[in-house]
Structure 1
Amino acid sequence: MKNMKRVSIALLAIILSLSAVGCGDKNMEGVNTGKANKAGQEEVYDVVVIGAGGAGLSAAIEIKGAGASVVVLEKMAFIGGNTLISGGELNAPETWIQEKLGIEDSIDLYKEDTLKGGDHQADEKLVTVLANNARQAVEWLRDTVNVSFKEDYLMQFGGHSVPRAAYPQGGSGNELIGKLGAKAEEMNIPVRKQTKAEEILADKDGKVNGVRAVDKDGNEIIFKANKGVIVATGGFGANVEMRKQYNSEYDERYMETVQPSSTGDGIIMAQKLGAALVGMENIQTYPTCNPATGILSYVADTRFNGAVLINKEGNRFVEELERRDVISKAILAQTDGMGYLIWDTTIKNNSHMDDYMEEFNQLVAQGMLIKADTIEEVAQFFDINVEQLKQTIEKYNQYAVNGKDEDFNRRGEIIGLTEAPYYLQKVTPAIHHTMGGLKIDTEARVIDNEGNPIPGLFAAGEVTGGIHGTNRLGGNAITDIIVFGRIAAESVLK
């Protein structure tokens, strides 16, 4: 299946809706191929930002707010990158929401969870910066960008000790990108869509001073940058050849959750200037995706609110709140490489399912989800061992009564499956995030192969490596892009 076909109807609706805030484009041609047929145009700014996802837009807003001029280059016909198709949740300790809900958390605990989640292979200095600035990132989105968060709910992603992920209204990255785009438009920040960066330019002394790009009509444009360039182009999850180059496991067998624009452009361009890479072999799958398309399933977020993960034989096989990589590997080891999430009406109501009814209905139409009045009916739909599943659920319901999961020591509240109707969803892993990328320091400066900062070159977001180690915990990507997008903006203006 072509990558562009993996973009769901829901995503297209989001993209079209963004045109209302100046973020869409009537010409929905997708990726600019970057083939030039004209040359000679030149524009001058203080800073050039490559990539109009969450990291790039955050950086641009901070730069313009500081009084400097900035332009954002985006090769797609719409803004948002992978932030747009994310759930938009971001982790932060000691927030006002945790205080309201009486949840005890700390910067140190968040840092510890993040380091442990990446097998202690992350750069501890970068993780310290992430943890120390996470709360301010959420507050900046709320107060400066006007992002609306649910005030009485937090998500607890796998690998986190407590609920700490702020949940945007609608449970979608559309809330973040819509508001970031609106803020950029309000500040008159030029966002050049379908303008593909081809080369990062430097002067004779090696200081980065611009970008050579090609627009949708094939015109070559030189964007001069008096102060520097910020690379915020995302990861390389959609580039199969690049994935195989660094980790042969993640070949054509895997579909992807990511945008088709996630092809590693920023990494490749920066390498030509001597940029060092870190952790490129660390590629993450998301465990609960649509087996028909590879698209990440937000309906399957029932896993965080009590749904039970079973296999074809009707048995549980992993803790539902384990790390993404652990669950993904466990699912792939089951019959047909598939897992099945089962939940009841109580869990459905706890999961804000009303936010995801379009996807819910699509899954039903595709035969990937069944709703029925009995455990027997949902099991028979997917040819799951009925008697074994009934025994598994009966045992699990007793764990819920006792308050302890004796099989897998499930974190969070254990909720029994007792209230009909019941739901069963088929899921499988797909490529979701690339933890490796450009090596940066705590000021978001790109580091070269000799260990020195490349003058005038900065990076933020999934294009960078070192922050998440071998595995990224859920909810940490959005925290990452906001924290380091803002740091890159501060650093480039020094």
Structure 2
Amino acid sequence: MRNKRIITLVLCALMSASIVGCGSKNTAGKSGIPDGTYTGEGNGKGGKIVVELTMKDEKIEDIKVKEHGETPGYADALDKMSAEMVAKNTIEVDMVSGATLSSTGILEAVKDAFSKTGVSADKLVAQEGQAEDEVREAEYSADVIVLGGGGAGLTAAIEAAQNGASVILVEKMPMVGGNTLISGGEMAAPSNWLQGEEAIEDSKDQFYEDILKGGDNENNPELVRVLADNATEDAEWLRDEVGVTFEDYMLFFGGHSVKRSLVPKDASGVELIEKLSAKAEELGVITHLNTAATELVQEDGKVVAIKADYKGEEIKYNATNGVIVATGGFGSNLEMRVKHNPDMNEKILSTNSVGSTGDGIVMAEALGADIVDMEYIQTYPTCDPETGTLLYVGDVRLEGRSILVNKEGKRFVEELERRDVISKAVVEQTDSVSYMFWDESAMEASKVNVKHKKEYDQLIAEKKLVKANTIEEAAEFFGIDAEELKNTVAKYNEYAQNGKDLEFNKRGELVPFAEGPYYIMKSKPAIHHTMGGIKINTNAEVVDKNGEVIKGLYAAGEVTGDIHGTNRLGSDAIADITVFGRIAGRNAATVK
């Protein structure tokens, strides 16, 4: 009896192939699609995506995502597309805007699962159906309306709510987060709690001078003063009131005079957005996603509402106190980029969210707001040479434990220089790329292969990063002049031993390279931050071309200009969005 049962189970497994469980019904109708549950895999931005597809009566009954590594927020695309497939009984559904790689991954996984039915996907009979959408009214009212659900918008919404205002946050993307979500989330803060532990001398005045110098003194000194004076207090607010967890180490970003940049948990903006979102929800902030603001409404000289589009329908959001524009920059708007800086053309990739299209700037300008510094567009020097994605494994540079070399194996710039200076230097090298070199001791100290394991593994698989036992072997992988690279490393080690970089005067501690293995990562610059935007005063109020305040209109974050001048220093963006987000939220809530 026992042997008979084993034979039955074996035959069942062979016949059902990848169908999970022989107990499930395995019949097929006219289309020939058998009932059952099938497993499939695809590759998203965060690596492998595994799904279980359940077919019953020739229809997609259910899709379960069993495994994924997608960033929170972007992972919502998996559920959204799965629900759409079930509702419409088809695999061919639209990708989620702003989450292309995640959407591609879930699509691949479901197609792989369906292929195991042994039937072509075109046999699925699509049906009229729609995943449930949020029901919307034609009109809403609140004390404060916030446009944009990135770091600045969420911060403004929280501060407004904490000051007693009712708040509705309107976000055009299907998830909150904006560029903050896909950033490293580091925050510059002078005289912070970690600097004290490391006996690093710093001050608000020193930070102020660094920001001005980093922006070639094209910044508005009054705005810079506000940023420098409030950054550390607001970092403590994030830590103590919002619940953001910061790591127990800092990074030394290029252009800063000292190491002062705090690092959130997992060195990712995900920590900031998750905690800010939770705090906003706790305070009763209402969030409307997939809703694109189209117009600022002004009556008797005051902004009193916005008009927005939700799935083709116009919705009006009335603001009793005012509207806060926090829609981000325009790094993903090619036409706007080229209009203001012809060099920022289609040949240059971007690290930005696809939602960074300058909508808020356009709407504010239509009301007469002054727009400044639009020609200043920054590139990040170490990005994926094929996609433009910012590479966080490259944070080993910010630990001061690596050098940048060219194809000829030579250093060509100070590794902790300003982003724009490094980027310009990279473009002038062979193939307009750079190669970041470091050793095992640097890897152990920075732990970038652990903190950013998925990215590390992906770079290795895509042959954009190599780990080798010798310098010669690592150089050969990328066709770099090995002898010259060995000479460069030896010269750098001499500088480290003597305590001074005689070629580029590299700031920070100089640490010599030791034993292998050795690592080399290939990268190139990509558009990262737009310094230009809406002109504001120190109260985060929008001002017009005559310098007069536009009543009821506030702005914060990358949508604003005149804070960073020609170039933003690394980690100053999180300080900016937090400081001016809070100011905008507070003032909009308490306006009389």
Q: TM-score range by the shorter chain?
A: over 0.9
CA distance in 2: counterparts of 1:482 and 1:30, whole angstroms: 26
CA distance in 1: counterparts of 2:319 and 2:157, whole angstroms: 13
How far off its partner does 1:419 sit?
A: 2.1
Instruction: Give secondary structure in 1 for the equivalent of 2:209.
Output: helix
Aligned to 1:29, which of 96, 99, 111?
A: 96
1:272 equivalent in alignment to 2:366: yes
Residues 461/16 of structure 1: CA separation in 2 closer, same or farther (3 Å cut): closer
Does the Cα contact within 8 Å between 2:149 and 2:326 map onto a contact in 1?
A: yes
CA distance in 2: counterparts of 1:380 and 1:183, whole angstroms: 51
The 10-residue stretch of structure 1 (347-356 or 331-340) with the greater mean CA deviation from structure 2:
347-356
1:155 equivalent in alignment to 2:222: no
Equivalent in the alignment of 1:129:
226
Aligned to 1:13, which of 59, 62, 70?
A: 70
- Measured against aligned partners, the alpha-carbon deviations of 1:336-370 in whole angstroms (never above 9, x if no partner) come to 00100000011112223111110011111111100
Equivalent in the alignment of 1:4:
none
Residues 320/310 of structure 1: CA separation in 2 closer, same or farther (3 Å cut): same
Aligned residue identity for 1:209: V
> Mapping of 1:257-406 within 5 angstroms?
257-305=351-399, 306-353=401-448, 354-406=450-502
Aligned to 1:447, which of 518, 543, 546?
A: 543
1:464 equivalent in alignment to 2:556: no
CA distance in 2: counterparts of 1:187 and 1:290, whole angstroms: 39
How far off its partner does 1:9 sit?
A: 2.8
Higher relative contact order (CA 8 A, sep 6+): 1
CA distance in 2: counterparts of 1:160 and 1:338, whole angstroms: 24
Equivalent in the alignment of 1:207:
302
CA distance in 2: counterparts of 1:397 and 1:29, whole angstroms: 49
How far off its partner does 1:449 sit?
A: 1.1
Equivalent in the alignment of 1:249:
343
CA distance in 1: counterparts of 2:221 and 2:73, whole angstroms: 40
For structure 2, list consecutive stretches of 5 or more residues without a partner in the other structure: 1-43, 48-67, 85-94, 100-134
Higher Rg of the two aligned structures: 2
For structure 1, list consecutive stretches of 5 or more residues without a partner in the other structure: 1-6, 33-37
How far off its partner does 1:188 sit?
A: 2.2
> Mapping of 1:178-257 within 5 angstroms?
178-203=274-299, 205-215=300-310, 217-257=311-351
How far off its partner does 1:191 sit?
A: 0.9
CA distance in 2: counterparts of 1:13 and 1:182, whole angstroms: 19
- Measured against aligned partners, the alpha-carbon deviations of 1:303-336 in whole angstroms (never above 9, x if no partner) come to 1121110000010000000000000000000000
CA distance in 2: counterparts of 1:93 and 1:16, whole angstroms: 31
Equivalent in the alignment of 2:116:
none
Aligned residue identity for 2:276: L
What TM-score do you get using the length of structure 2 for normalisation? Answer: 0.78
Aligned to 2:146, which of 49, 53, 65?
A: 49
- RMSD, aligned α-carbons: 2.1
1:473 equivalent in alignment to 2:569: yes
CA distance in 1: counterparts of 2:562 and 2:320, whole angstroms: 28
The 10-residue stretch of structure 1 (396-405 or 469-478) with the greater mean CA deviation from structure 2:
396-405
> Mapping of 1:80-91 within 5 angstroms?
80-91=177-188
Aligned residue identity for 2:302: K
Residues 25/323 of structure 1: CA separation in 2 closer, same or farther (3 Å cut): farther
1:95 equivalent in alignment to 2:192: yes
Deviation above 3 Å: which 4+ runs of structure 1? 16-19, 22-28
Equivalent in the alignment of 2:25:
none
- Measured against aligned partners, the alpha-carbon deviations of 1:360-408 in whole angstroms (never above 9, x if no partner) come to 1111111110001000000000000111111111111111111111111
How far off its partner does 1:17 sit?
A: 7.8
CA distance in 1: counterparts of 2:326 and 2:82, whole angstroms: 20
CA distance in 2: counterparts of 1:147 and 1:316, whole angstroms: 38
CA distance in 2: counterparts of 1:243 and 1:104, whole angstroms: 39
Equivalent in the alignment of 1:120:
217
Does the Cα contact within 8 Å between 1:114 and 1:473 map onto a contact in 2?
A: yes
Residues 25/463 of structure 1: CA separation in 2 closer, same or farther (3 Å cut): farther
- Measured against aligned partners, the alpha-carbon deviations of 1:195-215 in whole angstroms (never above 9, x if no partner) come to 110111111x12000110111
Equivalent in the alignment of 1:166:
262
CA distance in 2: counterparts of 1:343 and 1:421, whole angstroms: 9
How far off its partner does 1:16 sit?
A: 4.7
- Measured against aligned partners, the alpha-carbon deviations of 1:420-476 in whole angstroms (never above 9, x if no partner) come to 110000010000000000000000011111110101000000000000000000000
Residues 352/25 of structure 1: CA separation in 2 closer, same or farther (3 Å cut): farther
Instruction: Give secondary structure in 2 for the equivalent of 1:465.
Output: coil
Aligned residue identity for 2:380: Y
Does the Cα contact within 8 Å between 1:278 and 1:436 map onto a contact in 2?
A: yes
Aligned residue pairs total 479
Instruction: Give secondary structure in 1 for the equivalent of 2:267.
Output: coil
CA distance in 1: counterparts of 2:154 and 2:83, whole angstroms: 21
Does the Cα contact within 8 Å between 2:171 and 2:289 map onto a contact in 1?
A: yes
CA distance in 2: counterparts of 1:331 and 1:377, whole angstroms: 23
Aligned residue identity for 2:541: R
How far off its partner does 1:418 sit?
A: 1.2
Does the Cα contact within 8 Å between 2:73 and 2:177 map onto a contact in 1?
A: no
Does the Cα contact within 8 Å between 2:81 and 2:96 map onto a contact in 1?
A: no
Equivalent in the alignment of 2:41:
none
How far off its partner does 1:275 sit?
A: 0.6
How far off its partner does 1:219 sit?
A: 2.3
The 10-residue stretch of structure 1 (385-394 or 343-352) with the greater mean CA deviation from structure 2:
343-352
Residues 171/330 of structure 1: CA separation in 2 closer, same or farther (3 Å cut): same
Instruction: Give secondary structure in 2 for the equivalent of 1:405.
Output: coil
1:483 equivalent in alignment to 2:579: yes
CA distance in 2: counterparts of 1:139 and 1:24, whole angstroms: 39
Residues 251/50 of structure 1: CA separation in 2 closer, same or farther (3 Å cut): same
Percent identity of equivalent pairs: 53
Equivalent in the alignment of 1:70:
167
Instruction: Give secondary structure in 2 for the equivalent of 1:14.
Output: coil
